[in-house]
Structure formats: C-alpha cells, structure tokens
Structure 1
C-alpha cells in the first residue's frame, strides 16, 4: 500500500513538470513568432506606392489623421536590402537584445536617428569613446542596442529610427516597401489613400497556417491536469481504505483522516514548488507569472478533487453504518 501511495504521489510531480513544459512550449512558440515578426502583430500588411512623397510628409499625414490610433511602420529599403526604418506612435514591443535596448517612443520624436543592429549585420560600424556608430556615407547613427542571436530568425539586418524631423525621413516612399501594423480599418484607409494594394507578409501567412500548432500543447496540458485530478481521487479512495483498517471511530478517526490528508496535500504542494524551481531554471518563459498561476490552479484542482472524493466516501460510509444498525 505504501509503495502505491508513493507512486501516486510522484504522479503530481510528473503532472506539474508536464504542465510547466507545455506552457514553456506555448510561450516559446509565441516568442518565436514575435521575433520573426520583428515586434509586429498578425494584423500587419504591406504595400508599395509610386508616390514621390517623402517619408516625413507621410508621417505628418499619419499624425494628423490617425493620432488616436496605434500605428507601427517598417520601411524596407528597395536598395539597401538589409536596412529597415522603424517608426511608431506608441510603445513598441521590446525585442530581446544582447546589449543595449530596442527603440522607445522618444527615439522617433527628436531630430537624431538611432540604430539597432542584428548580431550578424554587415555594416560599417565605428567605435569611438566606448560608443558605436553606424556610418552610412556622411551620416553617423548611434547604436543603442544589438539583438540576441536566434538561429530561427534572419538577424543580418540593421534598424534605424525615423521621424518627421529625422534625416532618415527625407527619402521618398517609392523607394521602400511600407510594412504597417495597426487595426485593419486604419491599414485599409491608409492604403486606399495611396491607391495601393495590400499584401500579407510571409510571417503572417505562416502564422495563419500554423495558428492551430499550439493545440497539441494545450491538449497535453489539459491531459496533465486531468491526470492529477484522477490521481487524487485514487489517493482519497486508498486513504479511506487504510483508515478503515485502523478501526478508529469518532474524533480519532476524523483526526487521522485530517492529518493524513493535510500531509498528502502538503507533499503535493512541495512537488509543485520543486517543479516550479526546476522549470524556471531549465525552461523558457516569456511571462513567468503564468507558470506560477497555472501550477497553483492545478494544485487547487487536486485539492478540490481529493477533498470532494473524501467527503463523498465518508458520507457513503456513514449511510452504510446507519443502514446496518
């Protein structure tokens, strides 16, 4: 009997590890999508235009007509294939950097453009007084960050901020592929204004094809939770059988059951804590709080299943005793 209980108490530990692993897989997949999108969402579309209008004029148009809408732009150069100009009117998704930081709203407001480099970007970089500068012709752009190296993502590009008053905004729109992230309504209105046809970027198409790819992880997560509930039901049944063998009655019986139950549930709680520590050390989580919340919920489900089963068995046993009298 003790070996059975020990085995059944190991099941919750396996369950907690399984739940944490599935959460890590889900968050890792999402993190990969964010990296591949360079911080853009699945609403993202792109268009091209033959307009001679400058980027600066385009940004003024957006500020005037869509000031209250969140918009993020990437201008992919037709000639400098590895260059991307970035602009946003809100706080952009902060991408993982090895050193420094990604762009903030203030970087788009001033008169000076800044650079963020991919780890394998082949660009002329000057180091002076412990600072790095991207050198493009006679222009110097201060490097504020370098991305982490992720093998699954193309990281040989370099990103420059742009804004109404920045030198990078002087070029014409016709020289860029304009990638825009906003609500579908805003995107369609802007494209219509420039008589442009919208296209879906490859990373969005890939995500649409694979949008159900997290289902196996979710199903495994639910399976682990169900396994934990079933295990606690079995533990409650075994405990009641063992309690009957003690031939205790009244308060002694009740105290024995309470003590054993509390000990069992505490052991499961320790298993959950150990799983959390192990997973935080060995697995990736973009939002660590989700792991602790889900593990806590799983443990509470186990507690509820154990207590309900125990309560049902005790009531059933009392009815049998009364019937025999």
Structure 2
C-alpha cells in the first residue's frame, strides 16, 4: 500500500512539474505576443529626422539587407503603428481574417490589422471593415488577439510599401523598432541608422509608451527552482520505496546467483512502482496539459527516470550486507 501511495505521489509531482512548465510557457508566449512577435533583440531607433516615412521605406527597399521587420509606433499613441518587412513575418494569433503576408509589403494599397480591443473605431458599411487614418480609409484584413496579451489586443498596425503613395508622416513623429537578423549585423544596422539619422538605440521594452522602461522579474528563477524541487521530491520518494527492499537485502542469507536473481526481482519491483508513474504522467500531460517547451519536459522526464534507475541500482546492488553476529 505504501508503495502504491508513493507511486501516486511521483505521478502527481511530475504533473506539478508539467504545470510549472506550461505556466512558464504561457508567460513567455504572452510576453512574445505583447512584443507583437518581436524577439528580445528588437531595438528601438531613436531619431528626430524629418525624413518622410514612405521615402524611408523606398530607400530601405533599395538596400540589400539581412532579414528584418520594422514597426514605426506613433509617438502620441503607441497602440498605433506602421509595419514593414523584407521577408515573411512571424504570424500573430488571429481572431478573424489574416495577418500580414510578404505580398502586402509590395502592394500599392495599405492594409490594416487590428487587435480585438483596439480603441480605433472601424467602419463596416458592408462585409469589409475599414479604419480612417491620414484622411483615407484602409481595409482591415484581420483581427489579432490572445488571452492576457493586453498590448497585442489593443494594437493597430498598417502595412507599408515602397509603392504606396507618399505619407504625411515624418520619422520624428514615430518610434521605429527593428527586429530580425539585421540587428546582429553591424554593417546592415549601421546603414539603417545612417539612413534614418538615428541618434541612439536601446532594447525594445513595450511596458511604457516611451519604450524606455525595463521590467525584470524572477519568474524564470522560480520556474527553475520549482523543477529542481520536484526532481528532489521524486528522488526522496524513490528512496522511501527502496527502504524495505534495502532492509531485505541486508538481512538475506542468499549468495551467488540466487542473491543476484533476488536483487534483479527487487529492481523490477522497484522500477514498476517508479517508472510506470512517469509514463502515466507523460501520457496525461500529453492529453490534458498544453506545453510548448516539449524538449524541456521530455528532458526533465529523462533526467528523472535516469535518476530513479541510478538510485535503484545503487541501493539494491551496491548495498553492503550486514555482518553476521557471532553467537
């Protein structure tokens, strides 16, 4: 009965580890969504240039640059921006319609994508929705949204293209944020900074409208600590399962092949009460718990199972027999 309860504890502890991984995935994914799919390397380009926005895109398009996407956030409203990329963008979750494609950045017609909680009013005279900006109506091709991703849900983005008509926006009215391979290329990034008359740069942090605040949290450390604690708990439970088996080995008077066979049978019994809970926990997690970081969970299981086997072998095969007391 005690072994069965111990197996249940292992099962529940592994599920707890799976929930921790799932929760961490959710936090990371929400952060990515609030960054509009941009990586941690995304960089703000501070500029007071009077260059026209459309002319800037025309000149960027002429350059042979590494892959990039750039969002020009409105200084007065960071929930509104213009987006351009020279490759297919990482897609954001859509509630309806679609997200931008590579062809949208070559089109003469601008398109818009709105967050599901966008404050910018859209008009829908028939089946197609529009928003009004720069004294013209722009088609809304999709609505984006994700639970708890407030910045994503409130965002409105408009596609840019070198073939579009000239915009009345200047760079000094916008906050450009660039992401992609170009950020790690000093040569390409230098070209862009020169073109846009960039005075300074810093990493993109979307917590405030001016993009200068940086939030730090210890969720990553707590996440790692929680996984280590669950691993330690499973090892302690496995040692507890082995205590009566270890006692039997110390007291046995068997020798040679009989003793080895006895040890083998004890190891099989031990593995039955330890490995099966891991397998069941893996199946339950696959069925019921949403995990993005499968590699982390699988590695956790592999390490846990190896630790369980190592504990079993050490306790069963390397235990020293108690010396017989002389009468």
**TM-score scaled by structure 1?**
0.78
Q: 2:163 aligns with which of 149, 162, 165?
A: 165
Quote the residue 1:231 is aligned against: 237
Query: Compared with structure 1, are the counterparts of its residues 285 and 95 closer, same or farther at alpha carbon in structure 2 (3 Å cutoff)?
Result: farther
Q: Which has the higher helix share?
A: 1
Query: Compared with structure 1, are the counterparts of its residues 273 and 99 closer, same or farther at alpha carbon in structure 2 (3 Å cutoff)?
Result: farther
Asked if residue 265 in structure 1 is aligned to residue 271 in structure 2, the reply is yes
- State the Cα RMSD in Å: 3.5
Asked if residue 105 in structure 1 is aligned to residue 102 in structure 2, the reply is yes
Quote the residue 2:192 is aligned against: 190
In structure 2, the gaps of 5 or more residues are: none
Q: Once the 2 structures are TM-superposed, how far is the Cα of residue 287 of structure 1 from its aligned partner? A: 3.2
Quote the residue 1:77 is aligned against: 74
Q: Once the 2 structures are TM-superposed, how far is the Cα of residue 20 of structure 1 from its aligned partner? A: 1.4
Quote the residue 2:222 is aligned against: 216
Query: Compared with structure 1, are the counterparts of its residues 79 and 225 closer, same or farther at alpha carbon in structure 2 (3 Å cutoff)?
Result: closer
SS at 1:225 equivalent:
helix
Q: Is the 8 A contact 2:106 2:161 kept in 1?
A: yes
SS at 1:43 equivalent:
coil
In structure 1, the gaps of 5 or more residues are: none
Q: Is the 8 A contact 2:35 2:206 kept in 1?
A: yes
Q: Once the 2 structures are TM-superposed, how far is the Cα of residue 198 of structure 1 from its aligned partner? A: 2.8
Quote the residue 1:310 is aligned against: 316
Question: Please, which moves more after superposition, 219-228 or 184-193?
Answer: 184-193
Q: Deviations over 1:302-325 (max 9, x none)?
A: 223322332212xx33x968xx9x
Quote the residue 2:302 is aligned against: 296
Alignment of 1:267-286 (within 5 A): 267-280=273-286, 283-286=289-292
Alignment of 1:19-58 (within 5 A): 19-58=17-56
Query: Compared with structure 1, are the counterparts of its residues 188 and 28 closer, same or farther at alpha carbon in structure 2 (3 Å cutoff)?
Result: farther
Q: 2:246 aligns with which of 240, 243, 259?
A: 240
**TM-score scaled by structure 2?**
0.78
Q: Is the 8 A contact 2:89 2:101 kept in 1?
A: yes
Q: Once the 2 structures are TM-superposed, how far is the Cα of residue 165 of structure 1 from its aligned partner? A: 2.0
d(CA) in 1 for partners of 2:49, 2:122: 30
Q: Deviations over 1:279-302 (max 9, x none)?
A: 456544333453234223322322
Q: Is the 8 A contact 2:99 2:141 kept in 1?
A: no
d(CA) in 2 for partners of 1:152, 1:272: 37
SS at 1:62 equivalent:
helix
d(CA) in 2 for partners of 1:164, 1:170: 14
Question: Please, which moves more after superposition, 301-310 or 133-142?
Answer: 133-142
Q: Is the 8 A contact 2:43 2:177 kept in 1?
A: yes
d(CA) in 2 for partners of 1:256, 1:169: 83
Question: Please, which moves more after superposition, 301-310 or 270-279?
Answer: 270-279
Q: Once the 2 structures are TM-superposed, how far is the Cα of residue 74 of structure 1 from its aligned partner? A: 0.9
Question: Please, which moves more after superposition, 252-261 or 26-35?
Answer: 252-261
d(CA) in 2 for partners of 1:191, 1:56: 16
Query: Compared with structure 1, are the counterparts of its residues 139 and 293 closer, same or farther at alpha carbon in structure 2 (3 Å cutoff)?
Result: same
Q: Once the 2 structures are TM-superposed, how far is the Cα of residue 30 of structure 1 from its aligned partner? A: 1.4
Quote the residue 1:18 is aligned against: 16
- Tell me the number of residue pairs that the alignment of Structure 1 and Structure 2 aligns: 315
Q: 1:95 aligns with which of 82, 92, 95?
A: 92
Quote the residue 2:144 is aligned against: 146
Query: Compared with structure 1, are the counterparts of its residues 45 and 239 closer, same or farther at alpha carbon in structure 2 (3 Å cutoff)?
Result: same
